[in-house]
Structure 1
Amino acid sequence: MARDGVRASLRGLTWRPTGRGAPTVTDLDLAVGVGERVGLVGPSGAGKSTVLHALAGVLGDPLPGDLSGAVEVAGGVGLVPQDPGSAVVAARIGRDVAFGPENAGLPRAEIWRRTHHALERVGLRYPVDRPTSALSGGELQRLALAGALAREPGLLLLDEPTAMLDPDAAAEVRAAVVEALAGSDTALVVVDHHVGPWLEHLDRVVVLGPGGRVTHEVAPAALRDGTATAGLRDELTRAGVWLPGVPAPPPLPVPAALVAPDLPGPDVVVAGLRVDLVTRGLRGRTTTRALDGVDARLPAARLTAVTGPSGAGKSTLVATLAGHLRPASGDVRGTPGHSARSRDLARACGWVPQHPEHGLLALRVRDEVELTGRRLGVPVDVDEALAVLRLDHLADAHPFRLSGGEQRRLALAAALAHRPGTVLLDEPTVGQDRLTWAAVAGWAVAAARHGATVVTSTHDEHLVALADHRVALGAHDAALQGAVA
């Protein structure tokens, strides 16, 4: 429960990122009490991450744009960003978590006590000298949270902190947050499209609408037990907010002209696949086994979901299918492979990486979608692709001025608008509201229905439910545990 006093406040906050015609947040007032736990929800692009960045004090310098209004925060701040990889500052996980306490000038023994304790609390049970480059996306989320907790901040800001975690790991991380804050004066602001699992731990839910304006403040119990009025639940659902007990929307029908490949997708067969990730640093070379003896069939004209716990090698498998990683041994048949020319690889495979910004190259959203097709001589319907993915109003924006969810949809359009026969998606629905989720899921389903081989790694149970085929990777050795049609 909130204590007396204000931990942080925003007054009249307006923020327009450089390159954007309209503000993402407009004249926003928000106060967070000492010890208060606040959930921040709303549609993709409503400014939720911007609010966290404002509270963390990173708008206007690291993130350029026009800022007005006032921001006041009492006490230190710990931020877990939507892209956890952007928070990594060291080559080894122990040094990364220790960074904050070190900068606070704490004694060495206290620094390492906090480091070990934080890693244990978030379930990242590796030796402290494990390379940060060997972590999966979900493990990077745990690392970022450990770094924030080790600072023991007065204000903890979490941006989609469990989006890339399997359900068990997500529950473990939420429990770590709740335990860390129990009985303390630390305030919490958490952004999560799927706010349901957080509701029992929150004092208040704030809903942002387009332009970053507060549209509702709701008691968590009303959303958790269904006592919110039917009108409010319908309004929030129509706005794209995921509410407990409301089923996922149907996939958006996507026109065949946007997704049907010129040549049908192949049957892809993986046999005895082993992949090692190599990290080079001051201490020499470190090799981490990411996949070990995987056998699987990924059928053409089907949507295959690759599932498994965080760190099982799902992203590694998808990247290997895309030709971006060289197998240590084993075979992949049906895709061009790592030795193919980049042009041939791009024509055959569309790969949407887990970190979408890694694939963005152009200075405008429109140009990003057109780029691959233009290089390959394949016509691309840019306007229709942007409209389907609800990015049409951002056609002239800079890709790096988009929200995380918007960047993910842009990466999908950029990788797939030329209609490749093999579609490879790595956590494509992270950061999506109900409306944009329907668009992303609809694109994947439609591509498969019209002949593409579609493979997605995902923790999203709603997306898994749409799959025709499933490949499940195991927890520790990333060996295949089973594949079911």
Structure 2
Amino acid sequence: MSGATAGAHARISGFGWRPLGRRHEVISGLDLSFSPGEMVLLAGGSGAGKSTVLRALAGLLGEAVPGDLAGTVEVDAPAGLLLQNPADSIVAATVGREVAFGPENLALPREEIWRRVHDGLDRVGLRYDVARPTSALSGGELQRLALAGVLAIRPGLLLLDEPTSMLDAETSDVVRRCVLDAARAVGATTLVVEHRIGPWLRHCDRVVVLERGRVVADTTPTRFTAEHTERMVRAGVWMPGVPDPTPVQVDAEWVTPDRPGPELRAESLQVDLSTRSLHGTLTHRALDGASTALRPGRMTSLVGPSGAGKSTLLAAFAGLLRPSGGEITGVEPTLARRRSKALAAAAGFVPQNPEHGFLRNTVRDEVACTAGVLGKSVDVDGLLELLHLEHLAGANPFQLSGGEQRRLAVIAALAHRPGVVLLDEPTVGQDRNTWAAVTGWALAARDAGATVGVATHDESLVLRADDVIHVKDGQAVG
């Protein structure tokens, strides 16, 4: 870790932020400071302002992210930010060039740049060739790649927005150790935002709790758990040792399809994904003879390590990827052969990157979009309230937090009550309260006869599944 920068001192004073298109500030009059070498956990419910604080310290607000900024932000060392959605930070076509981007902008010698590239990739356990296209990586792999890029610049201020939210438990442990080791090695001031805070608490010096953009607690981890557990649970924070929340009961009329969902069967399924890079078109086999099924009236979880093929299998079930071998049966014509309108009527798909599905300029219009095209009525206000988005009805979908975007994607894809419900990591970025709403929706759709498939690393969600499919190396068992 040579070339390290000393830990930063950071301060925000009288800080306020109103995103472009929003009528009110999401943070107002906030004062916070962080000392060199501190490890700080930022906690709070979805939409509390945690990600906004990280972006402010990284210098993104008002420039890269449009809006009205008030107060001052002072940081006396380079900052490295891992975004909540890692795909937002990818700038290069290959793994090696992506990690090299930061060191190159620091004008480091070529030998040092590539030493840091290999060191960063090794630290996060991403052992692909440096020429591998970034477009060939899964969401969890992109998360590790983005972290490798942040570590490569040796920041004095390390800002991590849900660094393990899209990873399986084993990989999460590896990445967490990587973060802690790297931060200690350079003495970096480190701020971590996570909804599942338990694994981080024992490593932190301090816990700062935000609620609607204001500090409601600033204390030690020991006092935090001893004095604030009940209040934090009410606010939606996933406190260690507290049982999972009960999924929300969702009105059947909001999820009942016109006809029961089909049984979708993957038979010896092969899917080859092609990506273009400076080295030409590369093809890799994401699924290799996978055989399994999604059944009506049941919720099936697709589980497995990052890059195993879960998202590919889910997208193939949704008719969004055509197999290069084998087939998916259960409906005629098959979903992959249907035009957009007929496909949308049959299946609702929530992508791992929720922004990929947004089509309208306001949250309200986004919810009503697909249902309107299909001629179906939707209780937009009721659905927004159910998913805790009612106060954002007039906001631009692209100006929401990561967790808010994911909930909007769920409503927008499923408001028309399809018989096939397919969700890719739907609970990432959710607090206890919003998790209960998203999970409640999936279970209600199942109970109403829909065929529900969920690709997830969320063990709490997997526990509520009727069937579990284990995906690894393009194979499926279950």
Corresponding residue for residue 106 of structure 2 = 104
Q: Distance in 1 between matches of 2:471 and 2:223?
A: 38
- Structure 1 residues 5 and 300: CA distance shift in structure 2, 3 A: closer
Q: Given the alignment, which residue of 384, 407, 410 partners 1:409?
A: 407
Measured after TM superposition, the shift of residue 29 of structure 1 is 0.7
Q: Name 2:142's counterpart in structure 1.
A: 140
Q: CA deviation at 1:436?
A: 0.2
Please list the CA deviations of residues 376-420 of structure 1 after superposition, one character each: whole Å capped at 9, or x if unmatched. Answer: 111111111111101111111111111100000000000000000
Given the superposition, is the C-alpha separation of residues 147 and 6 from structure 1 closer, same or farther in structure 2, using an over 3 Å criterion?
Answer: closer
Whether 1:326 aligns to 2:316 is: no
Q: Which residue of 1 aligns with 2:3?
A: none
Distance, in Å, in 2 between the alignment partners of 1:221 and 1:285 is: 53
**What is the identity percentage for the equivalent residue pairs of Structure 1 and Structure 2?**
57
1:34-82 CA distance string (max 9 Å, x none): 0101100111111111101000000011111010000000111111000
2:429 to 423, 426, 431: 431
Deviation at 1:199, TM superposition (A): 1.0
For the Cα contact (< 8 Å) 2:7–2:187, is it kept in 1? no
Give the Cα–Cα distance (whole angstroms) in 1 for the partners of residues 8 and 273 of structure 2: 47
Please report how far the alpha carbon of residue 218 of structure 1 lies from its aligned counterpart in structure 2 after TM superposition: 2.8
Aligned to 1:157, the other structure's residue is in SS state strand
Matches within 5 A, 1:13-412: 13-210=15-212, 212-223=213-224, 228-229=226-227, 232-335=228-331, 336-412=334-410
Letter in 2 for 1:247: P
Once the two structures are overlaid, the 10-residue window that deviates more, 331-340 or 280-289, is 331-340
Alignment check: 8 A CA contact 1:373 1:417 kept: yes
Show structure 2 runs of 5+ residues with no match. Answer: 1-5
Alignment check: 8 A CA contact 1:307 1:458 kept: yes
Counterparts in 2 of 1:180 and 1:5: CA distance versus 1, 3 Å:
closer
Q: Distance in 2 between matches of 1:413 and 1:246?
A: 28
Cα 1:331–1:22, aligned 2, differ >3 Å: closer, same or farther?
same
Alignment match, 1:451? 449
Q: Does the CA contact (< 8 Å) of 1:264 and 1:421 recur in 2?
A: yes
Asked if 1 retains the 8 angstrom alpha-carbon contact of 2:8 and 2:36, the reply is yes
CA distance in structure 2 between the aligned counterparts of 1:281 and 1:19, rounded to whole angstroms = 37
Match of 2:132, SS state, is: coil
TM-score normalised per structure 2? 0.97
Distance in structure 2 (CA, Å) of the matches to 1:325 and 1:192: 32
Residue 103 to residue 370, structure 1, CA distance change in 2 (3 Å): same
| In structure 2, C-alpha distance between the alignment counterparts of 1:6 and 1:378, rounded to whole Å | 54
User: CA–CA distance in 2 between the matches of 1:353 and 1:61?
Assistant: 28
1:130-189 alpha-carbon deviations (Å, 9 max, x no partner):
000000000000000000000000001000110000000000000101111224321100
- Alpha-carbon distance in structure 1 between the residues aligned to 2:189 and 2:284: 38
Q: Structure 1 length as normaliser, TM-score?
A: 0.96
CA-to-aligned-CA distance 1:233-280 (integer Å, 9 cap, x gap): 111100001110001101000000110101100111111011111012
Q: Distance in 2 between matches of 1:284 and 1:339?
A: 29
Q: Distance in 1 between matches of 2:210 and 2:82?
A: 20
Cα distance change of structure 1 residues 345 and 5 upon mapping to structure 2, 3 Å threshold: closer
Superposed CA offset, 1:79-111 (max 9, x none): 100010111110000000001001101011000
Question: Which residue identity lines up with residue 336 of structure 2 in the other structure?
Answer: H
Give the superposition deviation at 1:281: 2.8
Greater shift, 433-442 or 23-32, is seen at 23-32
Q: Which amino acid aligns with 1:453?
A: T
Distance (Å, rounded) in 2 between the aligned partners of 1:400 and 1:285: 31
**Secondary structure at the residue paired with 1:274?**
strand
Matches of 2:204 and 2:252, distance apart in 1 = 44
CA distance in structure 1 between the partners assigned to 2:452 and 2:308 by the alignment: 20
Does structure 1 retain, via aligned residues, the 8 Å contact 2:133–2:276? no
5+ long unaligned stretches in structure 1 = none
Contact residue 28 and residue 214 of structure 2 kept, 8 A: yes
Native 8 Å contact 1:422 1:453 kept in 2:
yes
Aligned-residue Cα RMSD (Å) equals 1.2
User: Contact 1:6 / 1:31 at 8 angstroms: preserved in 2?
Assistant: no
